[in-house]
Amino acid sequence: MYRKMLLSTLLVCSFSALSNIVVIVNPANESSISAEEIVRIYTGRSNAFNAVNLAESAPLRAQFDEKGVGRSSAQLKAHWSKLVFTGKGTPPAELASEEAVLDFVANNPQAIGYVGADKVTSAVKVVHTIN
């Protein structure tokens, strides 16, 4: 009995870790966003949106950095440190949870963020899916 419960718990956890990441914007925003534009936004080369990140400690943040931006979290941190030091940029604000990201994006027409696909609500619009 204990083994079956442990196995089912592990399976559920592993499936949730493999869920898709979705990039979201406010539903009022009509823009279409390419994967390249997402990289530009999250590396400071575009200020078309008010971007938000999850906290550095969030596992989804590391997945987004790797799969969505194409850099490790350490590489992005170094990139942003350089931009901040030279006065050429400010990194996206960090929010503590996916629910906070959803709330921020839902209430800010120029906002962009990301959450797990299973967290999406009708208060936001999905513009890109990262597998």
**Domain hosting residue 25, numbered range:** 20-130
Residues 6+ apart with CB under 8 A from 24: 101, 102, 105, 112, 113, 114, 115, 120, 124, 125, 126, 127
Q: Is 7 within the bounds of a domain? A: no
pTM listed for this prediction: 0.85
25 beta partners? 112, 125
What digits encode the pLDDT tens for the residues 89-131?
999 999 999 999 999 999 999 999 999 999 999 999 999 999 8
Domain with residue 78: its CATH number is 3.40.190.10
Determine, yes or no, domain membership for 1: no
Total structural domains within the chain: 1
In a domain, 37, yes or no: yes
In a domain, 15, yes or no: no
Q: What mean pLDDT is predicted for residues 51-66? A: 96
User: Does residue 14 lie in a domain region?
Assistant: no
pLDDT digits (tens, 9 = 90+) for 13-50: 444 455 799 999 999 998 889 999 999 999 999 999 99
Residue 116 lies in a domain: yes
What whole-number distance in Å separates Cα of residue 42 and Cα of residue 50?
10
